[in-house]
Chains A and B, each alone.
Chain A
Amino acid sequence: MIKSKKNEMKMEFDSKSNNEAFARISVAAFASQLDPTIEEIADIKTSVSEAVTNSIIHAYPNRTGLVKIRAILYEDEVEIEVSDNGEGIENIDEAKEPLFTTKCNLERSGMGFTIMENFMDNLKVESIVGLGTKVTMTKKIKKVHN
């Protein structure tokens, strides 16, 4: 079945931590066109925050780079892509394990991917060491009929 696209947006910004709130609020505002519940919006915000924070901390540990977001709205689903041109991930399966982190000195909990997996319906992580990482997640927005 071909999903028909309703709307799409792209944004990019510097990998600075004060953009974390800006990023999650922007995506949530865009996704609100699908009439999500408060719960669904909260899940989207948290997951975007995780992915964006990862690009800021892990992809560009000692420099400022660009973080890109692309969001596509379908009839009953939102697809969000967060990507960077940073360090990349050596072992994606290991990175996705709960509590796995390469930065425990920074009080990272290693729960970012676990939260994305739990709060969204689907998570895909693609990465090439030295080139960057792309995280794609989708969430169904259930239509409430009254």
Chain B
Amino acid sequence: MNVKHFIEDKILLFEMTEELDHHNTEKIRDRADYEIQRFMPKRVIMDFFRVKFMDSAGIGLVIGRYKQVSAMGGRLELLNVSDKIKKIFEMAGILKIIPIIDVSLESQRKE
């Protein structure tokens, strides 16, 4: 997983790896929580741009990070969510509390 820090805006961007299953999400979770605690972000963006496979482990990963980030007063957002992944999140009802943001924010990554 790639991590990008936008220091001024206090934004953390996590680029998810290709396969989000139980095996891979355990490593991502540890790295993400380490970064969140160190950086104290106002916004955390999970970017699904690279994700080719996701099962219910992805739901657990998102809910877990949502709890971490909100406990510190921050906000969690999802980026580049494909229809397939969206369907899985919808089944769990998490899109009611965690927003998918628009790709226009893409530009922020190139700063």
Q: Which residues of A contact B (CB under 8 A)?
A: 17-18, 20-21, 24, 42, 45-46, 49-50, 53, 56-57, 98-99, 106-109, 111-112, 114-115, 118
Contacts and interface: CB of A to CB of B under 8 A. Distances in A.
B22 A111 contact: no
Interface of B: 19, 21-23, 25-26, 29, 53-57, 59-61, 63-64, 84, 88, 91-92
Contact of A20 (B22, B59, B61, B91): B22
19 contacts: A20-B21, A21-B19, A24-B53, A53-B55, A53-B57, A98-B92, A107-B25, A107-B29, A107-B60, A108-B60, A109-B59, A109-B60, A109-B92, A111-B56, A111-B91, A112-B55, A112-B56, A115-B56, A115-B91
Given A42-B84, A107-B60, A107-B63, A118 B91 contact: yes
B54 to A, nearest CB: 8
A45 B74 CA distance: 34
Main secondary structure of the interface of A (DSSP, over half): helix
Given A98-B91, A111-B92, A49 B55 contact: yes
Contacts of B88: 46, 111, 115
Nearest to B65: A107
A47 B22 CA distance: 13
Contact of B63 (A57, A98, A106, A109): A109
A20 B23 contact: yes
A108 to B, nearest CB: 6
Contacts of A49: 21, 53, 55
B22 to A, nearest CB: 5
A16 to B, nearest CB: 9
A109 to B, nearest CB: 4
A115 B22 CA distance: 15
B22 A57 contact: yes
Nearest to A99: B92
B61 A17 contact: no
A56 B55 contact: no
Given A109-B56, A115-B55, A53 B22 contact: yes
A115 B95 CA distance: 16
A64 to B, nearest CB: 14
A24 B54 CA distance: 12
